[in-house]
Structure 1
């Protein structure tokens, strides 16, 4: 959570420009790293009740004085609250950064710290000057395979925000029994749909190195008989056929227009007549308010820096679906994911 300037600070920083408001970005950058470290150390899981720094340090094996400094940063930014000499996690932290709440986004912070920003350090300037990096972040991860689980846990954490509303909106064909999740990596969406539809079986198709988290998801939910994984390149390898539904979630932004059209044609061929395609992604011009617009802009820059691609226009994607032989296109915005839309269509 960003530090919240009081009325006088907002006046000085924003209205009168008496101090550099850019300092808030520096404070935010420090707070971001503090949150990721707190997750690594188990701070938020431990602070279900108040602990003094020495007591917490003894519990998580840390230095009391240094831990006190970390807790002070977390308190200044609203992640923990003071209770006398002790600290306890805030309600917002419990809700959004632990497994006890609605969604645990802490692994998403870790993914940005350990994967995205190191990649930025090496390639962001090149991408801005030349239009893309010398290799994609996925190719980079293949050279750093120990980071693939970090990436997929991060993707899964982001998906926990929207998995319920997306699953609520998905319109599977009546009696659907087979689902293909292309580029599904962490497997959260496929697992959720299998749990909601007892007659459904799903295949998660992705880079072989990206599938450990999906396999763990299946084991933890007792779905190993209905949720399987398959490694390969969905652009060129056989993806099977006769599916009742295919998911393309957060896949399009990694491909240019020609590649997206070709992918839609592959999906059309893999679906049974009357089968459904569902596309979830961020799109150009998305985000109606300031935070949403800032999020879409940052994501678009990130895709450019890590993949050499940008977000697509949703109207263009709808046209490409129709050209590939899909009809009845439905579009749904997602409040919890500003700038994202869910597109669904039926194989004619």
Structure 2
């Protein structure tokens, strides 16, 4: 890899593209062009914004490749209607609330101090009860969340199951698994404010009558059970290897004999860092937001699951999807433990 002045300049100014997109999404500017081209005055009238401000913003969006223009008339480019108009089934604009959250922006301004101390500099961290970031994460589903949930469901296959979704967020991983059989049931475990979002998704998916909710800390709240499947998605990166192992051991105790424990999330260590960009950026975020969180490797997860007495741990990968899915099974002759 070669570092060039152009590459450095792109990195130095990348935040400008971010705040440009954030602003256009906030104003619903792309909606104003959903019915066809318009000039700046027409867009300003629709949005009730300053004509001058709107004109400059529109030109900047053209410069950034987010709009096309014929003279002073602006239009959506190819893909714009699908991804940036709020009424589209494929609308992706809401992801700015997660991918470029204010909480992350404000925290990372002090990244140098965080690296010096090796500890978060904010009172609220990713594992704080009621952390508001996870509500945004649950409400604004990322591209990877939906694809990852579908991947887990396909990996496990269909069949009736009682499912515990730990650190459930929106609940999509558990719901995807339950969707394969009308007799399957799901219990979502997360903080109360996040479970409010999971309830809405259960209703949207027609699963409300098959979903239960467990509010609290996964390390201490009674887990109920037992379960055929326990899913842990996008959670263990918040903890050290030791803490992650302790949680997995606790969760394995509520598996029925023959039940499966599933870990889904970003990993490091199995491909060169340049091929795992998002995983390493997430790990940097965990440095800023947690006391000991790291993005673990697939081999780490296999060792953790083996240490829990689970068998047949296997790592599943899919081209184009940055998540890994690791599945292990509780031996059929194992005794169920009390939680």
What is the TM-score normalised by the length of structure 2? 0.85
1:222 counterpart SS class: coil
Q: Which residue of 1 aligns with 2:17?
A: 31
Q: Deviations over 1:210-267 (max 9, x none)?
A: 2222122122223211123221101111111211111100111111111111111111
Q: Which residue of 2 aligns with 1:345?
A: 328
Query: How far apart, CA to CA, are the structure 2 residues paired with 1:113 and 1:260?
Result: 26
Q: Which residue of 2 aligns with 1:4?
A: none
Q: Deviations over 1:269-327 (max 9, x none)?
A: 1111111111112112255584x333222121111111132111211210110110111
Q: Which residue of 1 aligns with 2:155?
A: 169
1:315 aligns with 2:299: yes
Structure 2 residue aligned with 1:108, among 95, 99, 123? Answer: 95
327-336 vs 27-36, which moves further: 327-336
Query: How big is the shift at 1:183?
Result: 0.1
Query: How far apart, CA to CA, are the structure 1 residues paired with 2:68 and 2:272?
Result: 32
Q: 1:317 to 1:230 in 2, by over 3 A?
A: same
Check the 8 A contact 1:167/1:192 in 2, yes or no: yes
Q: Where in structure 1 do 4 or more consecutive aligned residues deviate above 6 Å?
A: none
Structure 2 residue aligned with 1:269, among 229, 235, 253? Answer: 253
Q: 1:166 to 1:59 in 2, by over 3 A?
A: farther
Structure 2 residue aligned with 1:260, among 237, 244, 257? Answer: 244
Query: How far apart, CA to CA, are the structure 1 residues paired with 2:258 and 2:177?
Result: 19
1:310 counterpart SS class: coil
Q: Which residue of 2 aligns with 1:6?
A: none
Matches within 5 A, 1:83-232: 83-97=70-84, 103-111=90-98, 112-121=100-109, 123-134=110-121, 135=123, 137-138=125-126, 142=130, 145=132, 149-154=135-140, 156=142, 158-171=144-157, 174-176=159-161, 178-232=162-216
Query: How far apart, CA to CA, are the structure 2 residues paired with 1:327 and 1:162?
Result: 23
Query: How far apart, CA to CA, are the structure 2 residues paired with 1:158 and 1:203?
Result: 22
Check the 8 A contact 1:184/1:205 in 2, yes or no: yes
Which 5+ residue runs of structure 2 have no aligned equivalent?
Answer: 332-339
2:319 counterpart SS class: coil
Q: Which residue of 1 aligns with 2:281?
A: 298
Check the 8 A contact 2:263/2:325 in 1, yes or no: yes
Query: How far apart, CA to CA, are the structure 1 residues paired with 2:60 and 2:287?
Result: 32
Q: Which residue of 1 aligns with 2:60?
A: 73
1:137 counterpart SS class: coil
Q: Deviations over 1:317-339 (max 9, x none)?
A: 1011011011122211243433x
Q: 1:300 to 1:337 in 2, by over 3 A?
A: farther
Check the 8 A contact 1:71/1:80 in 2, yes or no: yes
Q: Give the total of aligned pairs.
A: 326
1:245 aligns with 2:245: no
1:284 aligns with 2:268: yes
76-85 vs 222-231, which moves further: 76-85
Q: 1:231 to 1:315 in 2, by over 3 A?
A: same
Q: Which structure shows the bigger proportion of residues in helix conformation?
A: 1
Query: How far apart, CA to CA, are the structure 1 residues paired with 2:175 and 2:23?
Result: 29
